[in-house]
Structure 1
Amino acid sequence: MTIAPKNEAKAVATTGALKVSADKGKLTTVTVQDDKGNPVEGKLTADGTSWEPLRHLAGATKYKVHAIAKDAEGRESAKDTTFTTLVPKNTFIGHYTPEDGSTVGVGMPVSINFTRGITEPEAVEKAITVTAEPSVPVEGHWFGNDRLDFRPEKYWAAGTKVTVKLNLDGVEGRPGVYGEQAKSVTFTIGRSQVSTVDASAKTMKVVRDGKQIRNIPITAGAPSTTTYNGQMVISEKYAVTRMNGATVGFGGEYDIKDVPHAMRLSTSGTFVHGNYWASSGTFGSANVSHGCVGLRDIRGGGNNGTPSAWFYNSSLIGDVVIVKNSKDKQIAPDNGLNGWNMSWSEWIK
């Protein structure tokens, strides 16, 4: 019987180095554990002569191997070895959203941004599992080499519990660069809320659990600064925030230090937010914004009874806001958490 790597080997590779083989006869038992007693799952070949782990090993970790083989005469032999995996000099982690323990809207994807560009995407994606209860197929999609999002084909069902396991410790994401994360994250899908902005009609219909609960007058992007069309997911919420046109390509056209009830829809700066500087007659009758969706509000925000305050308090991160009938293009799926703008066939290819 042969166990690779050899006994007491050091700086062992986390992938491809561990293998147990029966020179004569068949393997009857193979157990591999790390120094904390966690088992390593493996697979025995159909003929029983070889065993390999199903996944990569963790870095800087000592492992124990115990194997038993039986020959044609029924005689058993056992072998025990230890080895230690390499200590990575260069590492990466994944910054993920949503947060552990959070309750989010039906459009919330799992989005992971890696601290290093990944050149081995299959290995990294294999090290991450996303499961749902009730069960639904969930697939990953790469945006460039440093962002991996997961979602189902359609919006999550209300009440779904989602578990994300980041088994990145020891996975080689690019030559000589290894993951150092081993983490489990769970979050829950709240009630369903999908709001549809009609930029032409200048309204936003809010649908909760399949029933329309409000129709709010809005102002969308002006003719020269139209609002993107498409399905957008609320990724951040700010009771009050500063909006400076210089940060999103509008120079000194505006700098408002106290925008109330702001919720981000895109990385490039699309928000649905309160607007206290336009006259109340603007909402529902004119599109005057720089591309955001504006709702009537008053200065200072708070629970003030305005449509904007109501919508802010009624919304979760992960809720969907759909914009239609705007004289603009569809938002790019990687501009925010907006992968829903890709068909399922595009997403999984």
Structure 2
Amino acid sequence: MGAWGGRRGLVVGLAGAALVAVLGLSGCTSGESIAATGAGGGEQRGTQAQAKPSAKVTATPAADAKDVSPAGPITVVVADGTLETVSLTNAEGKQVKGELAADKKTWTVAEHLGYGKTYTWAGSALGADGKAAPVAGTFTTVKPKRTAKASLNTGDGQTYGIAMPVAVVFDAPVKDKVAVQKAMTVTTTPENVGEWAWLDDTTAHWRPKEYWKPGTKVEVAVGIYGVDLGGGTYGRDDVTSSFTIGRAQVVKADTQTHRMVVYRDGVVTHDFPASMGLESDPGRVTKSGTHVVMSKHATYGMTNPKYGYSNVVVPWAVRVSNNGEFVHGYAPSIPDQGKRNVSHGCVNLAPANAKLYYDSALVGDPVEVTGSNQQLGKADGDYYDWALAWDKWTSMSAIAN
């Protein structure tokens, strides 16, 4: 038994030794392979870690670009490096103003370029590999068939009433209203929800959904320079305006009670007897609807050839529509004020009362007329904005809401 057991142990031992040898050989071979691969991978990684990338410069517009908008974007950007020098010059050699970012990775034009001009890039960037890469190339801006001017109805530093619309008027038809509307912004603090509406091919108005919040700060930017208005007409200049909305004053004039009541921040400040348009004559009716104060005149000459009068001078005239409607003083109608409507469409007050209202009014104040048999509308001209329901107003935007 002992001998048998010994032989078995020997056989097993030999087999085990052979297995160990095989495994050992296999392990040795595998180890050498891994070691070799590891060494090779290490050398490759080391090489990659030591190889630094060269600068990659991208100029916008690209070299040889044509019909570029002079409003931009006009930039040079570098990856894997920094910009050392950048210049952009016109055909006369004049350099364009530009700004280099603090990290020296972006250079941006700081002024509008000209129409129909060729510009040349120059400069260099330093790559992470220590080598210089050139900033180079030329491009040409678009040459318009014609240019169009835009004007705003609001002025810098002014204070307007809570119904004031922002009106932009172009001196040529706008065919691409979407592109132009995208270039026009109204920023308000605090926020007032509002929308642009195109009243015709040359006129766009922005008004809030509800009357402005008193004290609102408003920034208007009509950034049409370099924008194609359609048909090869481009914007001539950008136009901006910064203004403030004043206190909340609302006038309510009722043609049936013959009263004009002035509310300041919800409180009645004046309640005047008034005479409004004679309703038996369709040409003399004071239109119902929300009018907007457009201008103020200490004296104003009234002329209406249809009714046979010319340059009848009245005091303290406040225009509330482009159809000839004013709130003004008129002494001859004092016996009718508070009793009957006898005017040619205006709201007549006693001169002393008209002065009180005149002194309190701001351009942009709403004057809400009720009770008459005609409604304010498009035929009455600016500003009939508030005569339109909000869904109708937003449907007149060039951009779907």
Name the TM-score, length of structure 1 as normaliser: 0.78
Q: CA deviation at 1:212?
A: 1.3
**Residue 61 to residue 344, structure 1, CA distance change in 2 (3 Å):** farther
**1:231 aligned onto 2:285:** no
Q: Would you say 1:286 and 2:340 are equivalent positions?
A: yes
In 1, the alpha carbon distance for the partners of 2:162 and 2:393 equals 18
| Aligned partner (choices 195, 220, 232) of residue 251 of structure 2 | 195
Partner of 1:44: none
Q: Secondary structure at the match of 1:277?
A: helix
C-alpha displacement of 1:208 = 0.4
Quote how far apart the aligned CAs of 1:202 are.
0.4
How far off its partner does 1:123 sit?
0.9
Q: Which residue of 1 aligns with 2:226?
A: 170
Give the C-alpha shift of residue 219 in structure 1. 0.6
- The answer to whether residue 391 in structure 2 is matched with residue 335 in structure 1 is no
Separation (CA, whole Å) in 2 of partners of 1:222 and 1:294: 12
CA shift, 1:253, in A, is 2.3
User: In the alignment, is the contact (CA less than 8 A) between 1:143 and 1:334 conserved in 2?
Assistant: no
Q: Partners of 1:143 and 1:89 in 2: how far apart?
A: 25
The match for 1:344 is: 390
| Aligned residue number for residue 326 of structure 1 | 372
CA 200–128 in structure 1, closer or farther in 2 if over 3 Å, else same: same
Q: 5 Å matches for 1:19-98?
A: 36-37=96-97, 59=115, 80-98=136-154
Asked whether the equivalents of residues 58 and 171 of structure 1 are also in contact (C-alpha less than 8 Å), the reply is: no
Q: Kindly tell me: are residues 38 and 191 of structure 1, through their superposed partners in 2, closer, same or farther at Cα, counting changes over 3 Å? A: farther
How has the CA–CA distance of structure 1 residues 16 and 257 changed in structure 2, closer, same or farther, with 3 Å as cutoff?
A: closer
Alignment pair present for 1:218 and 2:280: no
**Are 2:197 and 2:206, in contact at CA under 8 Å, matched by a contact in 1?**
yes
- Aligned AA for 1:257? V
Amino acid at match of 1:174: G
Tell me which residue corresponds to 1:276: 331
Q: Which residue of 2 aligns with 1:123?
A: 179
- Relative to 1, partners in 2 of residues 1:58 and 1:217: Cα closer, same or farther, differing over 3 Å? farther
Q: Percent identity?
A: 32
After superposition, give the CA deviation of every residue in 1:133-169 in whole Å (9 maximum; x if it has no partner).
Answer: 1122331000010100001111111111100112111
How many residues align structurally?
317
The 8 Å contact of residues 295 and 318 in structure 2, kept in 1 or not, is answered as yes
Q: Rg bigger for which structure?
A: 2
**Does the C-alpha gap of structure 1 residues 253 and 125 become closer, same or farther in structure 2, counting only changes over 3 Å?**
same
Higher relative contact order (CA 8 A, sep 6+): 1
Q: Post-superposition shift, 1:109?
A: 0.8
8 Å CA contact 2:71–2:225 kept in 1: the answer is no
Q: Tell me what 2:199 maps to.
A: 143
Kept in 2, the 8 Å contact 1:89–1:177? The answer is yes
For residues 277 and 238 of structure 1, the distance between their equivalents in structure 2, rounded to whole angstroms, comes to: 19
Instruction: Write the distance in 1 (CA, Å) between the matches of 2:299 and 2:124.
Output: 62
Counterpart check, 1:245 vs 2:291:
no
Q: State the AA in 2 paired with 1:203.
A: R
Q: In structure 1, what is the Cα distance between the partners aligned to 2:307 and 2:385?
A: 32
Q: Any stretches of 5+ residues in structure 1 without a counterpart?
A: 21-25, 40-55, 71-75, 298-305
Partner Cα separation in structure 2 for residue 333 and residue 174 of structure 1: 27
Higher strand share: 1
Note closer, same or farther for the CA distance 1:245–1:67 as it changes in structure 2 (3 Å cut). Answer: farther
- 3-state SS of the aligned residue for 2:196? strand
1:331 partner amino acid: G
Q: Which one of the candidate residues 105, 127, 142 is aligned to 2:161?
A: 105
Larger CA deviation: 167-176 vs 185-194? 167-176
Unaligned runs of 5+ in 2: 1-56, 90-94, 100-111, 396-401
- Cα displacement (A) at 1:8: 5.7
Q: How far apart, CA to CA, are the structure 2 residues paired with 1:16 and 1:95? A: 19
Name the structure where helix makes up a greater proportion of residues: 2
- Cα shift readout 1:82-109 (whole Å, capped 9, x = no counterpart): 4341343411111211222111100101
Distance 2:268 2:332 in 1: 28
- How far did residue 67 of structure 1 move? 11
Q: Greater shift after overlay, 106-115 or 27-36?
A: 27-36
Q: Kindly indicate whether residue 317 of structure 2 is the aligned counterpart of residue 262 of structure 1.
A: yes
Deviations for 1:162-218, whole angstroms, at most 9, x for unmatched residues?
A: 001121111111312111112321011111100000000000111101111111111
TM-score by length of 2: 0.69
C-alpha distance in 1 between matches for 2:158 and 2:287: 28
